[in-house]
Structure 1
Amino acid sequence: MSKLNRKLLYGFSAIIIVILAILGIILGQIFKSFYLTNFDQRIARETNLIASIMESNTPLTSNISDQTLKKIAKDLNIDVLLFDDKHNLIAKSSNADLTIASESLNSYFEQLDKVKKAAKFSEKESGVKFYGKKITNPNGNKQFLIVDYSTKSIKEVYSSIWVLLFSLLGFVLFAIIILLIRYSHQFSKPIEDITQVAIELSKGNYKARTLTESNESTTVLSQAMNVLAKNLQEMTMQQEMQQDRLNTLIHNIGSGVVLINSRGHVNLINKTYRETFKVDSRSILGELYYDAFKHKEVIEIVEEIFLKEIKVRKQIILPLSIERKHFEIYGAPIIGINHEWKGIVLVFHDISELKKLEQVRKDFFANVSHELKTPITSIKGFTETLLDGAMESEELCKNFLSIILTESDRMQTLIQDLLDLSKIEQQNFKLDLAEVSVKQVIEDVHQMMNQKALEKNIEFKLYLNSPLVVNADALRLKQVFINLVDNAIHYTPAGGKVFVTAVEADDHIVIKVNDTGVGIGKEEISRIFERFYRVDKARSRNSGGTGLGLAIVKHLVEAHKGKVEVESKLGHGTSFIVTLNKNTSI
């Protein structure tokens, strides 16, 4: 039995028991009073009747047989006694006796002598109750007739009344309890089901439904609860879907997002922000903004939004680890429906690449202009000198024409490198892939560049043990190693060494071009693959370099789905590491 049913049963049972007990007491008293009144009236009538019968049997003497009294007592189921005028017992029915003091009895006889009808007598101390009447014959003799009903078990009659009454009340109570259990279960079961559904809904289980067949009084409530559960389930699903979309958008957006509540505590940071600023969510969530942000510029933006309640958009440079990044920060206040201040949102757009590209574009035009200006100026100057009469001197003319040819070659090399770089960077650039022996390619490069190395007294050696076959474009691959070896020879002083090694793994080949040259500074390593960037600008220009060779190398290696890395220490040489996949699929 459920708790609700027990409470209903105990409550109603207690009320019914109290009501029935009060009703039983009242009915018992009524039945008792009614019974005693009728009993007294009956005994009074019977006493008068017996007296009439006895008076008709004249004369009344002490010789009257006990048979008459016994017959009357048996027929009426009472005890009868007969006294003479001297108050002496002259006859009685069987077992009839009066346990009362003689003084009280004499006083009662005196009272009977004064009345004509039957009179009642009761003694509280002894509990004796009887009716009496004076009998007088025509001769004037008198006797006293006593009908004793105190000897009868009045208590048994009372007990019978109470047993009957409580049996009846008990039956009524049992019937009411049975009906109460039945109907309480009928009414409480739907309520219990609805309550259980409400509990499940409060726990977030919006699939809960009430399936019990309800009566008319709870059908509407059950249907309303099911409709409520269904609506909550649909609303929750829509909210979860929207929340998932919002979380996916926030955490996967390419810009850092930070939400700050109205009290200045950080409520949310997305994945991009964590990765960009290298912070842990647990160390920043819940913190005040001036503790969470380490950069003064960001704190000032937040304070400006809090104070002015306006949108703010600024471009700032923030130092992160060993680099400096450009950010465009967009901040806006979050205002609720009733113009309630909810907090602010900050969006960090990393525009470092855009700034870098913008700078590269500026540097590109500046460098191209500068690289072309020098040979053009030289060609123009020597041509004017020749036209002014210098060509009359054969030796001077030949010298000037050699310089003009050198500068023309330099311009041609620069323009060719620019065309190659432009072609490589185009989206429709394709490699002519085939099975290529890297060993053979490097050996061809060795034959081409060895004479140049000998001229500078540089030892140029190869350490290749296997064919090192890869799927690549042979011409482009040769162009990569020509540029790397040429740079190694250019930046290695006389008496130095240049050597190429290769290591073969399961799915890739690693080729290293090493030299013992001047090396590259740590701060310049990240820029050597930029267009026109030179570590030693004067020396590289004098050697005929354009500053585009390593940019071409990087693009060609990446076009082969490989990678190129640099290891260098200033004054101790440089090592370019090229990793090529054996099976390149473009």
Structure 2
Amino acid sequence: MTRGPHRIPGPRDLSTRLLGAILVVVLVGVATAWVVVAGIGPAIFHVHMMQMGGSNANTTVHAEEAFRTASTLSLAVALIAALGTSVGVSLFLARRITRSLIPVTAAAGRVALGDYTARIPSVGMGAEFDDLTAAFNTMATDLGRIEATRTKMLGDLAHEMRTPVATIGAYLEAIADGVREADSATLAVLGDQVTRLSRLSEDISVVTTAEEGRLTMHRQDLAVTRIVAEAEAHATAQYAAHGVTLRVRTSASANIAVVDADSDRIGQVMTNLLDNAVRHTPSGSEVVISAFVTGTHAAISIADQGDGIPADHIGHVFERFYRVDASRDRAHGGSGVGLAIAKSITEAHDGTIRVESAGIGQGAIFTIELPLIARAPGARSNVPSSANSVVEGP
């Protein structure tokens, strides 16, 4: 666990307040002793001097007695005053601290019982208590969010698994009843459903690991042109099978751009985005991959001519299991977490991802941006361009 920076005690810190309370006790004792010594001691001493006779021995005896009496009385009064002040201040602070800890204990008990709406009010007992209050309230908020996400994820996961499990069950029952034969077609259907469940499990594992910051990555200097070329190469056969043309447009600045990234992870982002694009693009249309540089970031966009996204759905497309058209996506075998994975991996690279769409039937543009680490003047990428690649101006 990472510790926060050491903070120099300030006037509102509990330690400073306790020190102040002790100083009050000491000062009261000192002040009382001074008042007694300055006001009472001389008077007692004077009385004894007036009572002495002319004898030097009597003078000495009375002087010593005056000193002892004045000192004893001064110390006794001072100690009594200091003791009374100390007890009073200690009782006051103890009651304040106890009253301040009561809502902490109550809120902790509510959180332990699953009530993540519990919060600790500010108690005004110093910066330490304020830090404790802020940390507890933040923890309760995070736990509530995690619990809500977990509940939603489990519900969505159960919903996603229902269809393939039901299909497998129905086919197995039909085979057992002799209604269907365990022929190659039936086995193919069962294999597809098992593959779908396996892919769903893997996708959930990846997105959960990424969102928790535990994603293993091997980052290196990676040319943007290499990212685009590898993505195009992996998707070409799939696009040809769907009758969709895949084109690449690379600006001159992107052609020399380099980012710090994990090749496999960024390739997974590109694969998920290209899979999403081809599922929503009709045969005979095209999808365009564009690479360019904007400020201190390299950007890669994937624009399709497909279904488009309504404005009220734009803010939700990167959520797990969220679908603009649930029935259509399930028919095309999407797990529902591909875009969530793309978002998590991109953000793990300190990048951003966004989507734009003019509406239904107007297609969509997904864009990822990654921080640049080098743009050497005149440098060229060693990744060859394909026949569908076009190098544009800056």
Aligned 8 A contact 1:493 1:517 in 2: yes
User: For residues 151 and 231 of structure 2, what CA distance do their matches in structure 1 show?
Assistant: 35
User: For residues 283 and 213 of structure 2, what CA distance do their matches in structure 1 show?
Assistant: 42
1:383 positional shift: 1.3
Q: Secondary structure at the match of 2:248?
A: strand
Could you list the runs of 5+ residues in structure 2 that have no partner in the other structure?
1-8, 15-102, 107-115, 125-133, 375-394
Determine what percentage of the aligned residue pairs are the same residue. 28
Match of 1:491 in 2: 280
Trace 1:98-497 onto structure 2 (pairs within 5 A): 356-390=145-179, 392=181, 397-465=183-251, 466-497=255-286
Which protein has the larger Cα radius of gyration, Structure 1 or Structure 2?
A: 1
Aligned 8 A contact 1:530 1:551 in 2: yes
Q: Pairwise CA RMSD of aligned residues?
A: 3.5
Residue deviations 1:119-153 (CA, integer Å, cap 9, x gap): xxxxxxxxxxxxxxxxxxxxxxxxxxxxxxxxxxx
1:537 positional shift: 0.8
Q: Does 1:527 align with 2:313?
A: no
Aligned 8 A contact 1:520 1:535 in 2: yes
For 1:556, the aligned partner's letter is I
Q: Secondary structure at the match of 1:464?
A: strand
Residue deviations 1:471-518 (CA, integer Å, cap 9, x gap): 211011100001011111111223332111111256321111111222
User: For residues 349 and 200 of structure 2, what CA distance do their matches in structure 1 show?
Assistant: 24
User: For residues 257 and 271 of structure 2, what CA distance do their matches in structure 1 show?
Assistant: 18
Change (3 A) 1:556 1:331: closer
Q: Secondary structure at the match of 1:511?
A: strand
User: For residues 193 and 287 of structure 2, what CA distance do their matches in structure 1 show?
Assistant: 28
Match of 1:577 in 2: 367
Match of 1:209 in 2: none
* Higher helix proportion (structure 1 or 2): 2
Change (3 A) 1:333 1:440: closer
1:437 positional shift: 2.0
1:426 positional shift: 4.3
Task: Identify which range, 401-410 or 497-506, moves more after superposition.
Answer: 497-506
User: For residues 569 and 353 of structure 1, what CA distance do their matches in structure 2 show?
Assistant: 35
User: For residues 149 and 339 of structure 2, what CA distance do their matches in structure 1 show?
Assistant: 15
User: For residues 366 and 428 of structure 1, what CA distance do their matches in structure 2 show?
Assistant: 24
Aligned 8 A contact 1:420 1:552 in 2: yes
1:428 positional shift: 4.0
User: For residues 244 and 368 of structure 1, what CA distance do their matches in structure 2 show?
Assistant: 49
Match of 2:112 in 1: none
User: For residues 354 and 536 of structure 1, what CA distance do their matches in structure 2 show?
Assistant: 31
User: For residues 147 and 311 of structure 2, what CA distance do their matches in structure 1 show?
Assistant: 24
Residue deviations 1:53-112 (CA, integer Å, cap 9, x gap): xxxxxxxxxxxxxxxxxxxxxxxxxxxxxxxxxxxxxxxxxxxxxxxxxxxxxxxxxxxx
User: For residues 245 and 518 of structure 1, what CA distance do their matches in structure 2 show?
Assistant: 59
1:243 positional shift: 6.3
Q: Secondary structure at the match of 1:495?
A: coil
For 2:195, the aligned partner's letter is D
User: For residues 563 and 492 of structure 1, what CA distance do their matches in structure 2 show?
Assistant: 24
Q: Does 1:566 align with 2:378?
A: no
Residue deviations 1:381-414 (CA, integer Å, cap 9, x gap): 111211222455xxx7332212111111111111
Aligned 8 A contact 1:386 1:397 in 2: no
User: For residues 390 and 328 of structure 1, what CA distance do their matches in structure 2 show?
Assistant: 57
Could you list the runs of 5+ residues in structure 1 that have no partner in the other structure?
1-240, 247-310, 314-325, 335-346
Aligned 8 A contact 1:431 1:473 in 2: yes
Residue deviations 1:349-377 (CA, integer Å, cap 9, x gap): 79876655433222210111122222122
Question: Displaced runs of 4+ in structure 1, greater than 4 A?
Answer: 241-246, 326-334, 349-356
Aligned 8 A contact 1:440 1:467 in 2: no
When the two structures are superposed, what TM-score results if normalisation uses the length of structure 1? 0.39
* Higher strand proportion (structure 1 or 2): 1
Q: Secondary structure at the match of 1:441?
A: helix
Aligned 8 A contact 1:468 1:504 in 2: yes
User: For residues 521 and 330 of structure 1, what CA distance do their matches in structure 2 show?
Assistant: 41
Which of 530, 543, 552 aligns to 2:341? It is 552
Aligned 8 A contact 1:390 1:397 in 2: no
For 1:534, the aligned partner's letter is R
User: For residues 197 and 271 of structure 2, what CA distance do their matches in structure 1 show?
Assistant: 19
Match of 1:267 in 2: none
Residue deviations 1:12-62 (CA, integer Å, cap 9, x gap): xxxxxxxxxxxxxxxxxxxxxxxxxxxxxxxxxxxxxxxxxxxxxxxxxxx
When the two structures are superposed, what TM-score results if normalisation uses the length of structure 2? 0.57
1:423 positional shift: 3.1
Aligned 8 A contact 2:213 2:348 in 1: no
- Which structure has the higher relative contact order (CA within 8 Å, separation 6+)? 2
For 1:387, the aligned partner's letter is A
